[in-house]
Structure 1
Amino acid sequence: MYAFISLPVVALMLFSFQDGLVPVPPFHGPTLRWYAELFADDRMMAALRNSVWVGLTSSAIATVLGFLAAYGLARYRPLAAGAIRGVLIAPIAVSYLVIGLGLSIVANELGVGRSLTLVVIGHVVINLPLAFAVVLSQMSPAQERLEKAARDLGASEVRVLALVTVPVLLPGLLAAFALSFTLSWDEFVIAFLLTRFDVTLPVEIWSSIRTGLDPETNAVGTLVFLLSVGLLAITLAVVSRLSRRRV
């Protein structure tokens, strides 16, 4: 089962080293020709930078907003907590196509052109529920008791937040950020609908393969996969280490 699922990834990585224009057997190579052409491709590199910027910005905003929402619900327990939680989680059930079209319509009505800023807003919308759920799951009565003890010792709300709440929640915050970045990094539908000239990497890849098979896309696909796996592996290692230190 796992071999069948991983077969497309293996094929992608294998043919990224093939010295031929058509990625079909038999294999000829290996060569780094397509990686050299990729790094010399100004459009691909610009799209890569755009994807990194959109991913980092939207993930940071979603993580901060998710933390504030989770902290407010867990600590202040408003009467409408259930309804607020439902509203925050609701975007998970909404199609990316609907979100992208909705933002596009709103932008047109306001006279705002399609841009990477709109993509960031769209990615915050889809990442916020995940960040909120991850951070909320880390809230615990033990943490609340630590915060209360700090207040009893004279610490202000700001110091409690900075010296107790955030350090304790740091593994969850890092996990929320990494998962949000991974979702944003290769998201296509919203980025396609909300950009025009400055596009993200998935949109640029789609534009490249629309007219035919391009061996360069195998190289960029391999890099995207390795970067995503590497980021998740590093995040899991850091979160695991921080969790052990907290215990």
Structure 2
Amino acid sequence: MNETKKKLKCAVDIGEALLMNGGEIYRVEETINHILEAWQIENYDVYVLSNGLFASANETAEDACSIVRHIVNPQVHLGRIAELNQLSREICKSKMSVDAANECLESIKKMSSHSLMETMIVCGLGTGCFTYIFGGTLQDSIISFIIGIFIGLFLYKNHASRFIKNIFGGFIAAVLASLFSMMVPIHIDKVIIGDIMPLVPGIAFTTGVRDLFHEDYLSGAIHILDAILTGICIAVGVGTFLLIMNGGFK
């Protein structure tokens, strides 16, 4: 592998890792551009989409090269993004070698994700707080916390597509809220609203709006469409159970 290809591959690997862990489109492009400039690659082009990455370098020279990556099922991991941003700063500041950058990148990729217990507890705390924010009582928040733990377990263990996960996640939230309402007096609407919050595509929507402001219309439209479809899936899950309970399918 020639030196240009080696540098381009490392820069693209870092950009791909950023995109896989929830990095914004324009930040991924800027990161790859800054790294290539730091490594004195002058003739290059980088184009990033929400699920794809295209890069080329020295197109008119003998060592011309290009790389295409398909990004599948990105997951948000802010810890990895922070480390990847620090790595790119180190490359630009100290002109870190390609081999050293690759070693750091591999260690970042091996960073562990959140454990099952962490996911369940944080999901429970989040749902309980959201229920209280949306007007629920302390008792509603406690019930939401309990249901949120089960939602966190479902999200952690379920590896189906996001659409199926959101439909069943909304359905489970509605079922559990209804079961608890039979045992204790709660505001079931507040509880359901709080418990579907871990499913709500807030990051996708805000990222889409940010992309549109940066005139990246294609990526912005993709993210906003993803957010809309996710919201529809959540509504289908909750609405299906409520229709069943009210005899809507008769």
Q: Same fold (TM over 0.5)?
A: no
Structure with the greater relative contact order (CA < 8 A, sep ≥ 6): 1 or 2?
Answer: 1
Q: Whose helix proportion is higher, 1 or 2?
A: 1
Q: Whose strand proportion is higher, 1 or 2?
A: 2
Normalised to the residue count of structure 2, the TM-score between the two structures is: 0.29
Normalised to the residue count of structure 1, the TM-score between the two structures is: 0.29
